[in-house]
Amino acid sequence: MDLSAWNLPSAFPDLAGPARDEALAELCDRRQTLLLATPYLTFASRFVAIDKGAILVRATMSRSVAAHTLDRKDLQLRFPWGLTHYGGPTRILEYVQEEGGKHLRLALPQVLRRMEQRKAYRVDYVGRCQGTLGSDDGEGGMVFARFNVENLSTTGMAVFCTDPLPGRNFVPGRRVSAQFSLERGPDLETNVQVIHASGQSLGLAFLDLDPIDGQALASWLQPRFTEALRRWDNRAALRAQAVKAAAPRPAPQGLLVLGGEPDVIAEIQQALEGAQTVRVVPPVLVPLREALDQAPPRLLVVPCEGSVEGCHRLRSLLEKCPPRCPIVVLAAGGQRGTVNLFAQEIRAALTTDRAGQHPLFFRRLVTGLIRRHWQDPEAP
């Protein structure tokens, strides 16, 4: 990722019209955190929904505070977007208090623009980075507070202090010293200015970071910037995966045969005589996982010829992708002892001979297993 691209307008286009609506819909889908800010106060909240041409967010303040503090012309909406922060002017349309909670209906900003104080990309996934802040107590001594880094850039960082903060030592505008260690990286020391404070959380700007330390910090951040950008670019695919994972699973149906020679599969189909649908999947991890997720079977049939190498491969595959249905091991070779041992290791419901040897018995066996496991007396 090219850090010099920060000042390019194309890197941070304004969001208006459909682009704005799509961004807000995505923010609501993932319940993104946001800030409602005036020149004097900020309140944290979360996106909830787009409601009748307005933005619905959680109300984290009382009705009176909303009316007397946030009902101003200079109210701003601010939120993370694209490794930076965006926002725009808004106003409170309504304070809604229902059984489901308290919400604010906010006016939609016409345009959402970059609102980034640091003038640098931020990285949220910084690992275990810890340090200590030091401030003059005004009496010739020092007051210290330990912290964990929550996000980091080349110009500043957000921290959460694990020690209680004395009242006047770490307020906005205060200059303090900071020493911190980067996970698997250098130890840094610099003076910082407190930009904002909320409880134990502080926003800090680097003041006189040594150029050598600054280069070390940039080098440490570079691969993390690249990874953060990759996650951002892939967020649509990740959202689709999350929606798919949250969707109701389809009802189990039919048999899934894991590999096997064509003649073995043909015997299974002939023995069942259409009583159960039969699907075949190669003994490969990704196709097996997709087959189990997209259309889960009632029964997994595993043909096994009994070779040590083949049993090991199948066992490893089923350990990585365990099915949620009974497993029937089909002895497709002459080494029955190895097949029985393999069936025990994968906790198969039973082991039987090839379907072609006893087709009627195989069909009744399959039907009985399905009825017993799925408690479906009507199963064919």
| Vertex 311: Cα angle to 310 and 315 (nearest 5) | 120
| Portions of the chain given CATH number 2.30.110.10 | 3-114
Tokens standing for residue 326: 């009974």
Averaged over 256-278, what is the pLDDT?
86
Using CB atoms within 10 A of its CB, is residue 348 exposed (0-12), middle (13-18) or buried (19+)? buried
Which tens digits make up the pLDDT trace of 52-106? 889 999 998 888 888 888 877 789 998 988 778 899 999 999 998 887 789 999 9
Q: List alpha helices for 145-299, DSSP H.
A: 211-233, 235-246, 262-272, 285-294
DSSP H/E element including 174:
none
Using CB atoms within 10 A of its CB, is residue 136 exposed (0-12), middle (13-18) or buried (19+)? middle
Averaged over 127-137, what is the pLDDT?
88
DSSP of 89-123: E--EEEEEEETTEEEEEEEPPSEEEE--SSSS--B
Residue 187, CB-side half-sphere exposure with 13 Å CA sphere = 3
332 three-class SS: coil
| Portions of the chain given CATH number 2.40.10.220 | 130-233
Which tens digits make up the pLDDT trace of 200-255? 888 899 998 899 999 999 999 888 888 888 887 777 676 666 666 666 777 888 89
The reported pLDDT for the residue numbered 294 is 81
Q: Amino acid identity of 203? A: G
pTM of the complete model:
0.53
| Portions of the chain given CATH number 3.40.50.2300 | 255-374
The reported pLDDT for the residue numbered 3 is 52
Length of the chain: 380
Eight-state DSSP code of residue 240: H
Which tens digits make up the pLDDT trace of 104-122? 999 999 999 888 777 777 8
d(CA 196, CA 363): 71
Does residue 377 carry a pLDDT above 60? no
Distances (CA, A) of 89 to 106, 117, 225: 10, 16, 29
CATH among 2.40.10.220, 3.40.605.10, 3.40.50.10860, 3.30.750.24 for 130-233 = 2.40.10.220
Distances (CA, A) of 289 to 199, 310, 320, 374: 46, 19, 9, 21
d(CA 160, CA 94): 33
CATH annotation of 3-114: 2.30.110.10
* 255-374 fold: Rossmann fold (3.40.50)
CB 90 within 8 A of CB 105: no
Using CB atoms within 10 A of its CB, is residue 179 exposed (0-12), middle (13-18) or buried (19+)? middle
Report CA 342 to chain centroid distance, whole Å.
37
Averaged over 132-151, what is the pLDDT?
86
d(CA 188, CA 137): 23
- Which tops the pLDDT comparison, 137 or 23? 23
The reported pLDDT for the residue numbered 1 is 45
The reported pLDDT for the residue numbered 165 is 84
